[in-house]
Chain A
Amino acid sequence: MAIQDKDLLAIRSRLAVMGQLSAGMFSGAVEALERADGRLARTVIGHDAQVDALENEIEGLCLRFLALKAPKALELRYAVAVTRLTTDIERVADHATVMAREGLARHLAPIWARDRGFGEMASIAHGMVGQAIDSFLAGDDRIHADIVARDRRVGELHRGLNEGLAAQVARDPDRALDIVSLINLTRRMERVADHAKNISVMVPYVTKGILLRHNPEAGPDADNDD
């Protein structure tokens, strides 16, 4: 996939900045939780407005590109995909912001440390986001199957952690609010992985015109009946 139009290249470079910032916010939020680092949490929260501004900027650039260049084929799919991607990337930043706020409001590090599943889930979700964005930027649709597999693992971890947390509420009702907060956090991490999958789904759409949105388990080489 060779994007050559200079407007699209500019869009791609802004998308790269937005993606890097959002993925960084997510890992920052996780680190802030693990280390109970209020300063880092506030930095993460502070970046949210930047991501929002980038979303608006990229949307504007795409609108302009579509209106002025009336692109066809690959360039059209690319611009349409970017408008969808920015929503997913912005949502990753939103989840990171809420996670950082939760971390600030409650001291969750000790419970987080008790189960390695939290860290593993966060690490997989973060890797998925980074890799999905990179694969989009590089036009490499081979990564999609791996993202789907890792999303399944995130789902398993999510279920396992939630069961453990629910049992913990019963055992330790005094910490119920902290535990509910962690249930909320795991749900957000699971959503971040979903956004990564949404991003990765758009790669075969751009490279081959294959829509996997409602059948993400299929690979980019599957027949497209959409």
Chain B
Amino acid sequence: MGDHLLVNGLDFFYGQTHALRAVTLPIRRNRITSLIGPSGCGKTTLLRCFNRMHDLYPNNRYRGEILMDGRDILGPAVDVIGLRNSMGMVFQKPTPFPMSVFDNVAYGLRLKRVRNAGVLRERVEKALRQAAVWDEVKDRLGQNAQGLSGGQQQRLVIARTLAVDPQVILFDESTSALDPISSKKIEELMTELKKEVTIIAVTHNMQQAARISDFTALMYLGSLVEYDETATIFTKPRNKLTEEYVTGRFG
């Protein structure tokens, strides 16, 4: 269970704004790493570096490297589409496409030119089962996905991500728009999914970070303040700022 990813001396700029400062952080394989910190600390900015979402906007600039199994994914020769296939992302609000449940999950597979109906059915069912939503949608695969509840939609989105066999899944506040029961289901799902994939999760919910993650990184003003095993961060942090943040005295 070594490092799957290594953020190494990473700086990031939105134009003139220096948003990440010399961040160095390992991401362990098949573990959940939570990124926590007050608003504007850079945690979402860091998350979006992993699948190069920032490339979609001009004037954004990376300096430093993110090694994935030893290869720099920020390099110019990297196939960004391929990278995004291997780095699934789940956002704060569920983002089902305006199409059927089945087509949502099959979407990425069809882009990858999987055409065989039997294979598609099999892969869609597998992904929906992995995302713990199969039993709830198996009788309505042809119905529009936007008719599902928020929690079901979020698990559908996770199934859509899983269908293309990602190595890493990035969760960006993925339970903050859900009710507590749906949140719990997603948390349980994340804990189950880490057997298959590496998970990086941005969360404002410290208790969630404590409950589900194996490692936690606290960020502040674009810098990494402290990274350690979650139990250490929440019981005996080394940094005074971490102590204050996890006890709710600042943030």
Contact = CB atoms under 8 A, between A and B. Distances in A.
Contacts of B230: 68
A175 interface: no
B235 A70 contact: no
A64 B235 CA distance: 7
Which range contains the number of A residues in contact with the other chain?
under 10
Interface in A24-76: 63-64, 67-70
B16 interface: no
Nearest to B212: A68
B212 to A, nearest CB: 9
B235 A67 contact: yes
Contacts of A70: 207, 210
A69 B234 CA distance: 10
Interface string B210-251: 110000000000000000001100110000000000000000
Contacts of A64: 231, 235
Contacts of B207: 70
Contacts of A68: 210-211, 230-231, 234
A130 to B, nearest CB: 33
16 contacts: A63-B235, A64-B231, A64-B235, A67-B210, A67-B231, A67-B234, A67-B235, A68-B210, A68-B211, A68-B230, A68-B231, A68-B234, A69-B210, A69-B211, A70-B207, A70-B210
Minimum-distance CB pairs A-B, first 3: A68-B210, A67-B234, A67-B235
Interface of B: 207, 210-211, 230-231, 234-235
Interface of A: 63-64, 67-70
